[in-house]
Amino acid sequence: MSRPRPHSDPDPASGSAGRAGDGHRAARTGAAVALLAAAVCYASWLLAPVLNPGLRPVRSYLSELAARDQPYHLFFQLGDVVTGLCAVVAGVLLGRVAREVPRVARWGLVVFGVATAVDGGWTTMDCAPSVDARCARLEELGELSWRHQAHTVTSSVAVAGALLSLVALLAVLRGPARRRTGLVVAVVLAVGTVGTLVASVHPGYGLGLWQRTQLAGLSGWLLLAAAVALRGTGSRPERSR
C-alpha cells in the first residue's frame, strides 16, 4: 500500500505575483480608458457647427466656444474639465505601472491635464472677440477679467505639456507601425501649433483652421498614449526606474 503524497501548499510568492500582474493590467487598462475618454471629450469642438454656428471656423479661437457669454459654454467647459481630469488620472496610473514610458512623457501628460482642467474650470474667456467688436476692444485695452487674460497662459502650458510628452513618447516607440503613427501625430500637432502662433500675430491667416489642426493633433496624441498604455511601446518594459 503506497503512502499518500503529502499535500503541497500553494506558493504564496506566485500568488502575490499573479495578483500584482492583475493589478498592473487593470491599471494599464484604466489609464487607456481614461485617455480614450480624454481624447473624445477634447474633440467636443466638433459639435460647434450645431451648438454655436455663430463662431467662424476660419477666424475664431476654439476657446471662444467656452466663453461665458456664448451659448452652450458650460458644455464646452465641462469637456475641458473632464479631459484634464482624465489625463491626470492616466498620468498617475502610468507612473505606477508603465515604467517603459519615460517620466517626462508621464509628467507632460499630468501638466497638460492640470492646465486643461484649470482652463475649462477657472480661466475661461469672458466673451468671444472674433465676433464681438466690443469684446475685442476691451481685450486690446486689457480691461477684461483676470480669468480671460490668464486663459492664454493656461492654454499655452497645456500645449507645452502635450508637446513635451509626445516628444518623449516618440523617443521610445518601437516598431514601424507605432513610429509611423507617432510621426504623423507629431507632424499634425507641430504644423497646427506653428500655424496657430503665426496666425495669432496675423489674424487673416486662418487662425481658426490652424487651431483646429492643432487640437486634432492633441486628440491624436491622447489616442496614441492610450494605445501605449494598453499595449506598451513595443519594447520590453523595464522592471524599475
Domain ranges, ordered by start, for the chain: 24-231
Contact 94, 109 (CB under 8 A): yes
Counting Cα atoms < 13 Å in the Cβ hemisphere of 188 gives 17
Write out pLDDT tens, residues 98-115.
Answer: 788 899 999 999 999 999
Confidence of residue 13 (pLDDT cuts 50, 70, 90): very low
Output the DSSP codes for 15-37.
HHHHHHHHHHHHHHHHHHHHHHH
Neighbours of 69 (CB within 10 A): 12
C-alpha cell at 76: 464646452
According to the model, what pLDDT value does residue 119 have? 96
Contact 124, 61 (CB under 8 A): no
According to the model, what pLDDT value does residue 238 have? 42
Q: Which of 174, 185, 241 is nearest to 213 (CA)?
A: 185
According to the model, what pLDDT value does residue 232 have? 86
Identify how many contiguous H helices and E strands the chain contains and give both numbers.
8, 0
According to the model, what pLDDT value does residue 71 have? 95
Q: Is 17's pLDDT higher than 70?
A: no
Q: What is the pTM of this model?
A: 0.87
